[in-house]
Amino acid sequence: MGLTIYKNIGAIVGADPNPLPVKAGKEMNELPVVYDAWMAVAGDRIMEIGSMATFTEMEIGGACHVVDLDGEWMFPSFCDSHTHIVYAGQRDGEFIDKIHGLSYEEIAARGGGILNSADLLHSTDEDELYRQAMVRVNEIIGKGTGAVEIKSGYGLTTEDELKMLRVIRRIKRNAPIEIKSTFLGAHAVGREYVGRQSEYVDLVCREMIPEVGAQKLADYVDVFCDTGFFTVEETDRILEAAHKWGLKPKIHANELAVSGGVQVGVKHGAVSVDHLERTGAEEIEALRNTSTIPTMLPGASFFLGMPYGNARGMIEAGLPLALASDYNPGSSPSGDMRFVAALGCIKMRLTPEQSFNAVTINGAAAMELSDEVGTITPGKIANFFTTLPQPSIAYPLYAYTSPLITHVWLAGEKIY
């Protein structure tokens, strides 16, 4: 097992010997930083962190690889708990429609949107779908992401949903990044079932979920519980059916309207409820004293011109908050988690510490991975990136388009 020592690290951000599994309320203000540090990595795991003042090369001996970071900063890899990065082609035509004034709902109602992606996915074979998805996986790795959740939901037939989930499984096996897989058959009503929504929900419950469950193709189940998509009652049925297969929910809620999605998610013990652009005091109340992590996707608000979720309200109420990219072709064609964290500061008025916690440890928690990733902690997977020396924690989110990342390591291996 190779030992690597990184020395002369300007700062290790998120260096936490005893990290909480998730940070809530005031805990989100704490982002530990060790300045002028060294770190030892053994194989794929972080072994030890120390201050350069206590560093002696003699102690380490010769049987290790030493990397001199010469003042560069180190950050834990981003943990992106909500994406749709397995898709075919793109939807840049709808980008033009939006410029001309059509809303996301209007595009969907015309048979565009998610159904457009489903048509493209149907006519794309599995190898090509994998190839296109891997381009995005490599893109987000280069931008600092080290753990990602990927959803199905552009199949909308049993066969195509399984095809997507097999592609996610293949990515899991081949890419150096941590992956969680989510079945999102109820993303929209498949074309053949338009006008017969309840029959489509039956198909999801009686055919898709048992197949996905039996083949162990997903970690979680998701439903787009929102106006124009699936109702609370339908969501309830789907989550019930998924529970029998051990699929915990992570659901799309309150993006387009106050949908009741938060409450139904909480009722079923959801790991997270995501989007939350339209939430008020009742949703905050529903989330109190639960283990469900409110997750916001400011990239979708940015791209679709929607309101931003009440992030500060959630934190002030003592709740945790995760931020994720929602990388998808329709509402957030970007998986840049630094930009997501910057939007957290610029548009949601989070402090840089809160925003970094939201895109690292709390994102990890929203994938049930906080024992493994999300902080720089001895024992956790050595997933981190280095940057040019920074004047402050705030700077990388303030100067949000300046090139930043110098190198990326995943599971102790230098990737870029």
List, in order, residues 6 or more apart from 226 with CB less than 8 Å away.
252, 253, 254, 255, 256, 257, 259, 261, 275
Strand, helix or coil for residue 70: coil
Question: Which range, of 136-144, 208-216, 325-333, 352-360, touches Fe ion by CB under 5 A?
Answer: 325-333
Nearer to ligand NIG, 31 or 264 (CB): 264
In the complex, least distance from residue 132 CB atom to ligand NIG, rounded to whole angstroms: 15
Q: How far is CA 56 from CA 5, 50, 101, 299, in A?
A: 11, 11, 63, 45
Question: Which range, of 17-25, 201-209, 323-331, 369-377, touches Fe ion by CB under 5 A?
Answer: 323-331
- Should residue 114 be labelled a site residue for ligand NIG when binding is judged by CB under 6 A? yes
Question: Which range, of 95-103, 112-120, 133-141, 192-200, touches ligand NIG by CB under 6 A?
Answer: 112-120
Nearest Cα to Cα of residue 94 among 284, 330, 311, 281 = 330
- Should residue 255 be labelled a site residue for ligand NIG when binding is judged by CB under 6 A? yes
How many CA atoms lie less than 13 Å away from 11 in the CB half-sphere? Answer: 13
Question: Which range, of 135-143, 321-329, 354-362, 398-406, touches ligand NIG by CB under 6 A?
Answer: 321-329
Q: Which of 80, 326, 368, 372 forms a contact with Fe ion (CB under 5 A)?
A: 326
Which of ligand NIG, Fe ion, none does residue 255 bind to, with CB < 5 to 8 Å depending on kind? ligand NIG
Nearest Cα to Cα of residue 238 among 256, 224, 254 = 224
Q: What x-and-dash track marks residues 166-205 binding ligand NIG by CB under 6 A?
A: ----------------------------------------
Nearer to ligand NIG, 149 or 372 (CB): 149
Query: How far, in Å, CA of 375 to CA of 284, rounded?
Result: 27
- Should residue 117 be labelled a site residue for ligand NIG when binding is judged by CB under 6 A? yes
In the complex, least distance from residue 84 CB atom to ligand NIG, rounded to whole angstroms: 6
- Should residue 283 be labelled a site residue for Fe ion when binding is judged by CB under 5 A? no
- DSSP alpha helix (H) spans, 11-157: 57-60, 92-99, 104-109, 114-122, 126-142
Strand, helix or coil for residue 114: helix
Residue type, 106: E
In the complex, least distance from residue 79 CB atom to ligand NIG, rounded to whole angstroms: 17
Which of ligand NIG, Fe ion, none does residue 224 bind to, with CB < 5 to 8 Å depending on kind? ligand NIG
Q: Which of 213, 330, 352, 412 forms a contact with ligand NIG (CB under 6 A)?
A: 330
Nearer to Fe ion, 39 or 225 (CB): 225
- Should residue 252 be labelled a site residue for ligand NIG when binding is judged by CB under 6 A? yes
Q: Which of 326, 336, 353, 368 forms a contact with ligand NIG (CB under 6 A)?
A: 326
Query: How far, in Å, CA of 365 to CA of 80, rounded?
Result: 10
Nearer to Fe ion, 326 or 353 (CB): 326
Query: How far, in Å, CA of 127 to CA of 133, rounded?
Result: 10
Residue type, 116: N
- Should residue 279 be labelled a site residue for ligand NIG when binding is judged by CB under 6 A? no
* Residue whose beta carbon is closest to Fe ion: 326
List, in order, residues 6 or more apart from 399 with CB less than 8 Å away.
none
Query: How far, in Å, CA of 293 to CA of 313, rounded?
Result: 14
Q: Please give the backbone phi and psi of residue 79, each rounded to the nearest 5 degrees, phi first.
A: -120, 105
What residues line the site for Fe ion (CB under 5 A)?
A: 326
What residues line the site for ligand NIG (CB under 6 A)?
A: 84, 113-114, 117, 224, 252, 255, 300, 326, 328-331
